[in-house]
């Protein structure tokens, strides 16, 4: 199997992991959102802890990276709480697709904070994607609008977290970043969970622990996928989460997305596909420019 196909397969596994995480969070029922978020992250923290210890890395990273690690973790925690709230109150595939706005928002944040100039085709894709969100939200500005707003802001905070992960780059190992984030979320949400704790049944314990396990599969699958192939070549396959989530919504929860939501999914996916194709084309042009012209070796003989 080629490295590209390995990357695609891992990305599909990652997408399935995150979709199952969302489904299990929803299945856990009427529990406080902070309680769900805490239990999901405890599992990730334990697994990431094992990786950090095995590779003999620092648990909390280097001293010079603390501000970045803390900021990334804070943004990620807020984003996750908002995402879980959206999962509980929306059709699963709606919540998932709104969260998938984060790659488009990442372009905006990278332009503002990292001074990376946004290209015209990226701006066009962002505009198309936000039009797609209107089909999903169907704004009425009533109380029903709040979970949709939470879904959008979950993407905003996730994009902020991913921007800081990009800044961290190779400064920290991915498992250190995952552990730091999971530990931060656990410690931060513990007082709120104690204050608003609701007893859980055995089934709810299993759902939330399972959600943490699947989230870890999703996280590590995503990281490993991009080790085999660049994001520009395979990132589009991560949108398979929406397909998984739509099927789970229908067969597990009996929730069928309405026609406007489906139009929204197609619009946002189309914007992502457009950007994906343009990114690949731009990269190919750059590679052609950097490739030295071919010259026949002096020792070559004519046939």
Higher-pLDDT residue of 150 and 110 is 150
**pLDDT value at position 140?**
66
Q: Which residues of 132-145 are buried (b: 16+ CB within 10 A; e: fewer)?
A: bbebbbeeeeeeee
Residue 248 has pLDDT above 80, yes or no: yes
List pLDDT tens digits, range 218-228.
Answer: 888 887 887 78
Using only C-alpha atoms, the chain has a radius of gyration, in whole angstroms, of: 21
Residue 295 has pLDDT above 50, yes or no: no
Arithmetic mean of pLDDT over the chain: 87
**pTM given for the model:** 0.85
- Taking alpha carbons only, the member of 3, 6, 2, 7 closest to residue 234 is 7
Find which of 37-46, 112-121, 289-298 is predicted with most confidence, using mean pLDDT. 37-46
Question: For 247, what's the count of Cα atoms within 13 Å in the CB-facing half-sphere?
Answer: 7
User: Which range has the worst mean pLDDT, 13-22, 73-82, 205-214, 216-225?
Assistant: 216-225
**Any idea what DSSP says for residue 63?**
G
Judge contact between 233 and 280, C-beta under 8 A: yes
Higher-pLDDT residue of 292 and 124 is 124
Token pair 């020792």 is found at 299
List pLDDT tens digits, range 25-74.
Answer: 999 998 999 999 999 899 989 998 999 999 998 889 999 999 999 999 99
Higher-pLDDT residue of 282 and 125 is 125
Question: pLDDT band at residue 292, thresholds of 50, 70 and 90?
Answer: low
Averaged over 70-87, what is the pLDDT?
A: 95
Residue 80 has pLDDT above 90, yes or no: yes
């Amino acid at each position: 199997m080629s490295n590209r196909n390995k990357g695609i397969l891992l990305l599909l596994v990652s997408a399935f992991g995150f979709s199952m995480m969302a489904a299990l969070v929803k299945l856990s029922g009427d529990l406080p959102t902070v309680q769900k978020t805490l239990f999901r992250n405890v599992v990730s923290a334990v697994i990431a802890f094992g990786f950090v210890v095995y590779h003999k890395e620092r648990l909390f990273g280097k001293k010079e990276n603390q501000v970045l690690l803390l900021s990334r973790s804070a943004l990620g925690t807020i984003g996750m709480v908002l995402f879980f709230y959206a999962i509980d109150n929306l059709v699963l595939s709606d919540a998932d697709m709104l969260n998938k706005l984060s790659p488009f928002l990442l372009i905006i944040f990278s332009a503002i904070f990292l001074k990376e100039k946004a290209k015209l085709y990226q701006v066009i894709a962002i505009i198309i994607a936000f039009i797609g969100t209107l089909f999903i939200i169907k704004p009425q500005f009533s109380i029903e609008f709040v979970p949709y707003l939470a879904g959008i802001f979950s993407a905003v905070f996730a994009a902020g977290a991913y921007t800081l992960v990009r800044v961290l780059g190779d400064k920290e190992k991915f498992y250190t970043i995952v552990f730091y984030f999971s530990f931060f979320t656990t410690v931060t949400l513990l007082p709120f969970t104690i204050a608003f704790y609701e007893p859980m049944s055995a089934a709810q314990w299993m759902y939330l622990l399972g959600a943490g396990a699947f989230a870890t599969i999703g996280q590590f699958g995503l990281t490993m996928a991009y080790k085999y192939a660049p994001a520009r070549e395979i990132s589009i396959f991560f949108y398979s989460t929406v397909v998984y989530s739509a099927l789970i919504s229908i067969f597990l929860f009996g929730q069928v997305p309405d026609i406007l939501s489906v139009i929204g999914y197609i619009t946002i996916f189309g914007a992502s596909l457009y950007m994906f194709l343009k990114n690949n084309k731009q990269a190919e042009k750059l590679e052609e420019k950097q490739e030295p012209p071919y010259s026949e070796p002096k020792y070559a003989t004519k046939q």
